[in-house]
C-alpha cells in the first residue's frame, strides 16, 4: 500500500488506498432478488404519504368517471337529438359535455399537483436515507466503488425513480379504473360488441410480458454503463491537472468515446425494446376497432343496435386502448425505475464493516495511552500490509513512524482512527479495545493534521470551526493565532469571513496547511496524529508551524509520520517500519548507533549537507534545526 495516498483522501474524498487493488468496481451490477421485493421497498417509502395518495385516488376516480360519461352522452346525443334533429336538446348536451371536459381538465391538474408533492416527499426521504447510509459505510466500500458511480446513484437513479412515481402512479390508477369502467359500460350497452372489442386483451398481455422481460435487462445495462461513464467523467475532472501535465488529453478522449459508444449501444437496445410496445398496441387497437365497426354496422342494419351505441363503442375502444398503451409504456418507465431502485437499494443493503458493537462505550476524555498488540491487517484478503505490529505509547509521548513509502505507516494510522478494523490482534486506548468504543467518540479524541489539506467551500471561520462546531468566534481566532494563521487571515479581503472555493484553491498550500492545524488545535484532542504536516510549506512557515506543533503536542500523545528525519529527532520513540513490520525501535541517537536501516535512511538524507562525523548524535530542538 502506498502511504503517500494520505488520510485526506481517506477522510474527506473517499479516496482509495494505494496498492494493486485500486480502481473501479468491476463486474456486473448486482440485481435485487426480484422485482416484487424492489417494488415492496419503494412502497414502504410511498405509503408514508397515505393522505396524499388517498386524495390522488379520489381525484383519479372522479376524472375517470367524467371521462366515461362523455362517450355515453355522445351516444345519447346521436340517437335522441342528431338523428331526430332536435337542436335545442343538442345545444344543452353540448353545454353539458363542455362543462364535463373543463371540470375534467381542472381535476386532472389538481391530481398531478398532489401527486408531484407526494412523489417529491417520498424521494426526499429515499435520498436522505441513501446519503445517510453512505456516511455509515466503511472506507473499504469506497475503495472498490468509483465516486462517479455513487454520484450516479444519488442523482440519476434517484431522479429516475422520482419521475416514475410522479407520472406512473396516477397513470396506473387511472388506467386500471378506466379499463374497469369501460368494460362495465360496454357490457351494459351491448355485451356481444363488448366481447368482440375485448377479444384482443390476451394477445396484448402476452406481448407485454415478453417485451417487458427484455426491456428490464436492457435498462439495467443502460444504468450500469451510465454510472461507469459518470465515474470516468468525475475522475477526469478531478485529475485535470495531471491530465494536462502529462499531455493525456487524447487518451482521455479515447476512453470517454469508448464509454460513450458503449452507453449509446445499450441505450439504443433499451429504447428499441421500449419502442416496440406502442406500435404493437396501436396495431392491435386498430384491428379491434375495424372488427367492431364492421360487426356493429351489420348489427345496425339488422336492427340489433343503434348508431349512437356504435359511436359510443368507438370512443370507449379508444379509451380502453389509451390505458393499454399507457400500461405498456409504464412497463418501460417502471423497468427503468426498477433498475435504478435496485442500484439504490444495493447500497442501502451494504453492511458497514466498521460499526459500533452492541454496548459500545462513550469516551469523553483519555489519558492517551495507546497500545498495538500483535496487529495484522490487509486491505485485501491474503495480501498482508501489517504483520505482527506491537507498540506502546505512554500518555504524552511522541511516537515517530518512519520508513520507505508503502511500508505501512499510514495504515497504522488508519487502524488507530478505526477507518478499518484489524484482521487480528488488538488496539487499545487506556486499556480499552477501540472496537468497544463508539466510533464518533473515538475520533473526537483524535486530532489529525495531514500532508494534503482538504477545505470545504465556505468561510475561513467555518473551515476552522469544522474541528469543533460549537466553538465561539473568539475560540476560532485563538486557534488561528496558535497555528500562526491569524496574520495571513487578517490580510484576506474579508478576513475570517472570506469565502473559500472548494478545496481552498484560492489559498496557497502553506495557508491551507495552517488552517488545518488551526482546525486540529480547536478540536482539543487527546491524541495527535501528524502525517507529514509541514512537508508542503516553505522553511520560514515550517518554523512557525513547528512552534505551533510543539505547543499543540504538549501533554498529548502524538504519532508523527515523517520522511524528513530531522523533524523527529526529539521523539520519545522512533519506530522504523519496512514491509509491514517494525524492524527497529528506539530514540534517534540509539538508532544511529546501531547503524541499521534508520542509519541508512538518515545518512542518505544528510550526506550532502554535512560530513558523516558531524551527524548529530543527540536529540535537538526541532526549531533549531533551521
Mean pLDDT score, 372-383: 88
Q: For residue range 234-258, list pLDDT tens digits in order.
A: 778 877 767 876 777 888 888 899 9
Q: For residue range 609-624, list pLDDT tens digits in order.
A: 444 444 444 433 333 3
Provide the pLDDT for residue 14: 32
**For residue 489, what are the contacts with CB-CB under 8 A and spacing of at least 6?**
460, 480, 495, 496, 498
Mean pLDDT score, 256-271: 87
Provide the pLDDT for residue 621: 39
Picking from 348, 338, 351, the residue whose alpha carbon sits closest to that of residue 31 is 338
Provide the pLDDT for residue 571: 85
How far is the C-alpha of 266 from the C-alpha of 336, rounded, in Å?
A: 13
Q: For residue range 164-196, list pLDDT tens digits in order.
A: 888 787 888 888 888 888 888 888 888 887 777
The CATH homologous superfamily for domain 357-445+572-626 is P-loop containing nucleotide triphosphate hydrolases (3.40.50.300)
Sign of CA dihedral 459, 464, 468, 471: negative
The fraction of the chain above a pLDDT of 70, given in percent, is 84
Q: At what angle do helices 307-348 and 50-77 cross, to 10 degrees?
A: 160
Q: At what angle do helices 307-348 and 35-46 cross, to 10 degrees?
A: 90
pLDDT at 626 > cutoff 70: no
Mean pLDDT score, 390-414: 88
pLDDT at 503 > cutoff 70: no
Question: Which contacts (CB < 8 Å, 24+ apart) does range 603-612 have?
Answer: 605/564, 605/565, 605/566, 606/566
Confidence of residue 376 (pLDDT cuts 50, 70, 90): very high
Confidence of residue 5 (pLDDT cuts 50, 70, 90): very low
Report which of residues 463 and 532 the model is more confident about.
463
Provide the pLDDT for residue 410: 86
Provide the pLDDT for residue 370: 92
Q: Provide the CB-side half-sphere exposure for 4 (13 A, CA).
A: 6
Q: Where in the chain is the domain with CATH 3.40.50.300?
A: 357-445+572-626
pLDDT at 66 > cutoff 90: no
The fraction of the chain above a pLDDT of 90, given in percent, is 6
Q: Which CATH architecture has domain 31-348?
A: Up-down Bundle (1.20)
Picking from 369, 367, 386, the residue whose alpha carbon sits closest to that of residue 377 is 386
- Round the CA-based radius of gyration of the chain to a whole number and report it: 35
| pTM for this predicted structure | 0.64
Query: What's the DSSP call for residue 501?
Result: P
Confidence of residue 71 (pLDDT cuts 50, 70, 90): confident
Mean pLDDT score, 551-560: 81
- Adjacent-strand bridge partners of 449: 530
Confidence of residue 534 (pLDDT cuts 50, 70, 90): low
Q: Where in the chain is the domain with CATH 1.20.1560.10?
A: 31-348
Amino acid at each position: 500500500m502506498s502511504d503517500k495516498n494520505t488520510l485526506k483522501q481517506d477522510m474527506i474524498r473517499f479516496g482509495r488506498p494505494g496498492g494493486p487493488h485500486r480502481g473501479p468496481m468491476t463486474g456486473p451490477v448486482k440485481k435485487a432478488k426480484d422485482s416484487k421485493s424492489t417494488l415492496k421497498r419503494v412502497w414502504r417509502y410511498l405509503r408514508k404519504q397515505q393522505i396524499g395518495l388517498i386524495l390522488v385516488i379520489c381525484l383519479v376516480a372522479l376524472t375517470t368517471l367524467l371521462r366515461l360519461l362523455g362517450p355515453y352522452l355522445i351516444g345519447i346525443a346521436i340517437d335522441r337529438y342528431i338523428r331526430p334533429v332536435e337542436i335545442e336538446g343538442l345545444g344543452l348536451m353540448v353545454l353539458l359535455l363542455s362543462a364535463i371536459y373543463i371540470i375534467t381538465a381542472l381535476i386532472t391538474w389538481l391530481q398531478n399537483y398532489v401527486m408531484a408533492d407526494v412523489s417529491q416527499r417520498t424521494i426526499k426521504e429515499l435520498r436522505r436515507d441513501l446519503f445517510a447510509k453512505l456516511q455509515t459505510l466503511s472506507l473499504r466500500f469506497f475503495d472498490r466503488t468509483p465516486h462517479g458511480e455513487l454520484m450516479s446513484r444519488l442523482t440519476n437513479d434517484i431522479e429516475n425513480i422520482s419521475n416514475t412515481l410522479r407520472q406512473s402512479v396516477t397513470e396506473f390508477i387511472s388506467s386500471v379504473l378506466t379499463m374497469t369502467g369501460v368494460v362495465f359500460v360496454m357490457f351494459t350497452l351491448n355485451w356481444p360488441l363488448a366481447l368482440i372489442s375485448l377479444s384482443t386483451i390476451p394477445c396484448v398481455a402476452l406481448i407485454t410480458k415478453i417485451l417487458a422481460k427484455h426491456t428490464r435487462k436492457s435498462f439495467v445495462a443502460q444504468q450500469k454503463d451510465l454510472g461507469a461513464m459518470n465515474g470516468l467523467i468525475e475522475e477526469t475532472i478531478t485529475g485535470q491537472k495531471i491530465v494536462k501535465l502529462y499531455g493525456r488529453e487524447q487518451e482521455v478522449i479515447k476512453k470517454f468515446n469508448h464509454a460513450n459508444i458503449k452507453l449509446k449501444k445499450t441505450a439504443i437496445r433499451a429504447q428499441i425494446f421500449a419502442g416496440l410496445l406502442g406500435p404493437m398496441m396501436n396495431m392491435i387497437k386498430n384491428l379491434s376497432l375495424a372488427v367492431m365497426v364492421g360487426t356493429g354496422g351489420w348489427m345496425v342494419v339488422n336492427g340489433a343496435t343503434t348508431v349512437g351505441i356504435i359511436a359510443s363503442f368507438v370512443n370507449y375502444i379508444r379509451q380502453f386502448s389509451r390505458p393499454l398503451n399507457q400500461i405498456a409504456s409504464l412497463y418501460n418507465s417502471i423497468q427503468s425505475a426498477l433498475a435504478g431502485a435496485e442500484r439504490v437499494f444495493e447500497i442501502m443493503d451494504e453492511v458497514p464493516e466498521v460499526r459500533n458493537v452492541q454496548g459500545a462505550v462513550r469516551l469523553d476524555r483519555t489519558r492517551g495511552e495507546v497500545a498495538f498488540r500483535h496487529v495484522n491487517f490487509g486491505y485485501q484478503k491474503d495480501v498482508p500490509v501489517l504483520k505482527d505490529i506491537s507498540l506502546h505509547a505512554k500518555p504524552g509521548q511522541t511516537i515517530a513512524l518512519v520508513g520507505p513509502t508503502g511500508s505501512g505507516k499510514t495504515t497504522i494510522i488508519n487502524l488507530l482512527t478505526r477507518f478499518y478494523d484489524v484482521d487480528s490482534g488488538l488496539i487499545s486506548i487506556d486499556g480499552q479495545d477501540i472496537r468497544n468504543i463508539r466510533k464518533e467518540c473515538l475520533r473526537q479524541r483524535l486530532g489529525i493534521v495531514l500532508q494534503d489539506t482538504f477545505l470545504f467551500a465556505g468561510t475561513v471561520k467555518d473551515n476552522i470551526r469544522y474541528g469543533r462546531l460549537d466553538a465561539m468566534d473568539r475560540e476560532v481566532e485563538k486557534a488561528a493565532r496558535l497555528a500562526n494563521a491569524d496574520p495571513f487571515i487578517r490580510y484576506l479581503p474579508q478576513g475570517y469571513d472570506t469565502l473559500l472555493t472548494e478545496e481552498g484553491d484560492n489559498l496557497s498550500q502553506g495557508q491551507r496547511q495552517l488552517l488545518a492545524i488551526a482546525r486540529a488545535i480547536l478540536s482539543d484532542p487527546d491524541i495527535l496524529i501528524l502525517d507529514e504536516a509541514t512537508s508542503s510549506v516553505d522553511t520560514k512557515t515550517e518554523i512557525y508551524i513547528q512552534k505551533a506543533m510543539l505547543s499543540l503536542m504538549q501533554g498529548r500523545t502524538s504519532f508523527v509520520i515523517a520522511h524528513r528525519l530531522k523533524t523527529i529527532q526529539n521523539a520519545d520513540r522512533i519506530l522504523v517500519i519496512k514491509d509491514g513490520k517494525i524492524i527497529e525501535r528506539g530514540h534517534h541517537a540509539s538508532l544511529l548507533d546501531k547503524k541499521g536501516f534508520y542509519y541508512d535512511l538518515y545518512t542518505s538524507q544528510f550526506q550532502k549537507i554535512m560530513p558523516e562525523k558531524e551527524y548529530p548524535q543527540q536529540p535537538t530542538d526541532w526549531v533549531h534545526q533551521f
